[in-house]
Amino acid sequence: MFSVTLEPDDIVDVVFLVDSSNGVNLISFYKEKIFVKLLAKRLNVSPEKSHAAVITYGSRARLDIDFNGYDDLPAFERLVDRIAYIGGARRIDKALEAAAGALKGSRSSVSKMVVLLTSGRQPQDAPSLETSAATLHSLGAVVYVVSVANDLDPKYFEVLVEDSMHVSRVPSFDVLNNALSQVASGIEEGTCLK
């Protein structure tokens, strides 16, 4: 099912943006956390290798795990399990801004990645995704989007990504893990280009 693993020398700092808006029920939220743990394992998350941070978002964005908040992968996984649901409107803009803040504390010598999990659009009165992602892009972060929304045009996320291949679409949270290989492959290629 999941064949891509980073080479031992490939190291990234990755921020996971986990959708916990009203469009995501508790079972689907749990499936997002499984996705985060599986991808973190494949990216060799540990203090000596890749680092990961997790931001949960709904009506607001909350930094739940920072880059230095755990001692090893099992500790990171336990922290992911403890992340609480937020609810409210899906404010992707706030998640992107929080990711930029988290990445300011990342290592300057490694690739910076953001993995956005989302179940749809944000409210029309929210700031544009392009404006909200400007700081992320200025930091050199590469964004990957995993969209669980059948009725959403993938072009909606084009302002966030460098390549259309960085947008993965899955029809439901039940098959969210089908996007793991595409996201991991993209991250692996990104570290090779650094």
Asked if residues 3 and 102 have their Cβ atoms less than 8 Å apart, the reply is no
- Alpha carbon separation from 180 to 91, 97, 108, 113 (Å, rounded): 24, 24, 26, 14
Reading the block at residue 90, the tokens are 């899906």
Strand 142-147 to strand 167-169: parallel, antiparallel, or no bridges (unpaired)? parallel
pLDDT at 5: 43
**Averaged pLDDT score across all residues of the chain:** 89
Quick one: which H or E segment has residue 55?
A: strand 51-57
- Lowest-pLDDT choice from 95-109, 120-134, 150-164: 150-164
The two three-digit tokens of residue 111, written as one number? 């690739």
The full set of domains in the chain, from first to last, is 12-193 (3.40.50.410)
pLDDT, tens digit (0-9, with 9 covering 90-100), for 165-188: 888 888 999 999 888 888 888 787
d(Cα 138, Cα 136) in Å, to the nearest integer?
5
> In the chain, pLDDT over 70 holds for what percent of residues?
92
Query: Kind and range of the H or E element at 146?
Result: strand 142-147
Global confidence as pTM: 0.92
Tell me, what's the pLDDT at 190?
A: 59
pLDDT tens track for 16-51: 999 999 999 999 999 999 999 999 999 999 888 999
- pLDDT number for residue 141: 94
Residue 193 pLDDT > 50: no
User: How many Å is the Cα radius of gyration of the chain?
Assistant: 15
Q: Is the pLDDT of residue 194 over 70?
A: no
pLDDT band of 153, cuts 50, 70, 90: confident
Higher pLDDT pick, 187 / 112: 112
Distance CA 180, CA 184 (A): 6
φ, ψ of residue 18 to 5 degrees: the values are -105, 120
Q: Does residue 155 surpass a pLDDT of 90?
A: no
Residue 70 pLDDT level (bands cut at 50, 70, 90): very high
Residues 6+ apart with CB under 8 A from 145: 116, 118, 157, 160, 161, 166, 167, 168
The CB density around residue 110, as the number of other CB atoms within 10 Å, is 17
